[in-house]
């Protein structure tokens, strides 16, 4: 149960970034570029699927990879330390999703309802 709770909390928080990019809500104030739409779709759609626990393992694997790229591309050049480079969230998402990609969505998930682990 705690696994499903963590999955839902991590995924809902992740979805904020997608809804900001796609719908401007909540508005983070950034200006859109070529990556905004694909990243927004990944974060909103992928985050939504993980929140529901549907196709949890493959989707979490993709999102973990996205966060690894984001950390090294956007945050790591700023500083070695996550607290100083603003990448603490990306780092935690990356490893949490990597674990979900192996462990699945836990007992409270659509994957369980449809009979998949």
Site residues (CB under 8 A) for another protein? 1-3, 5-6, 9-10, 13, 16-17, 20, 26, 28, 57-58, 61, 79-84, 88-89, 91-96, 98-99, 101-104, 117
Min. distance of Cβ 108 from another protein in angstroms?
Answer: 13
Closer residue to another protein in complex, CB, 15/113: 15
Min. distance of Cβ 33 from another protein in angstroms?
Answer: 19
Based on its alpha-carbon atoms, the radius of gyration of the chain, rounded to whole angstroms, reads 14
Q: What are phi and psi of 111, to 5 degrees?
A: -60, -40
Min. distance of Cβ 113 from another protein in angstroms?
Answer: 18
Give the pair of three-digit tokens for residue 9.
């909390």
Q: CB of 97 within 8 A of CB of 67?
A: yes
CA 84 → CA 41, 76, 78, 81, 89, distances in Å?
Answer: 28, 10, 8, 5, 12
Closer residue to another protein in complex, CB, 40/104: 104
Min. distance of Cβ 117 from another protein in angstroms?
Answer: 7
Q: Among 45, 67, 64, which Cα is nearest to 54's?
A: 45
């Amino acid at each position: 149960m705690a696994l499903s709770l963590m999955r839902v909390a991590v995924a809902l928080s992740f979805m904020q970034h997608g809804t900001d990019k796609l719908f401007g809500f909540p508005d983070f104030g950034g200006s859109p570029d070529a990556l905004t739409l694909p990243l927004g779709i990944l974060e909103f759609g992928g985050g939504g699927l993980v929140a529901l626990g549907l196709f949890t393992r493959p989707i979490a694997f993709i999102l973990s990879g996205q966060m690894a790229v984001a950390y090294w591309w956007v945050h790591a050049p700023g500083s070695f330390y996550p607290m100083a480079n603003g990448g603490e969230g990306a780092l935690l998402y990356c490893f949490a999703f990597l674990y979900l990609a192996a462990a699945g969505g836990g007992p409270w998930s659509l994957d369980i309802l449809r009979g998949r682990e």
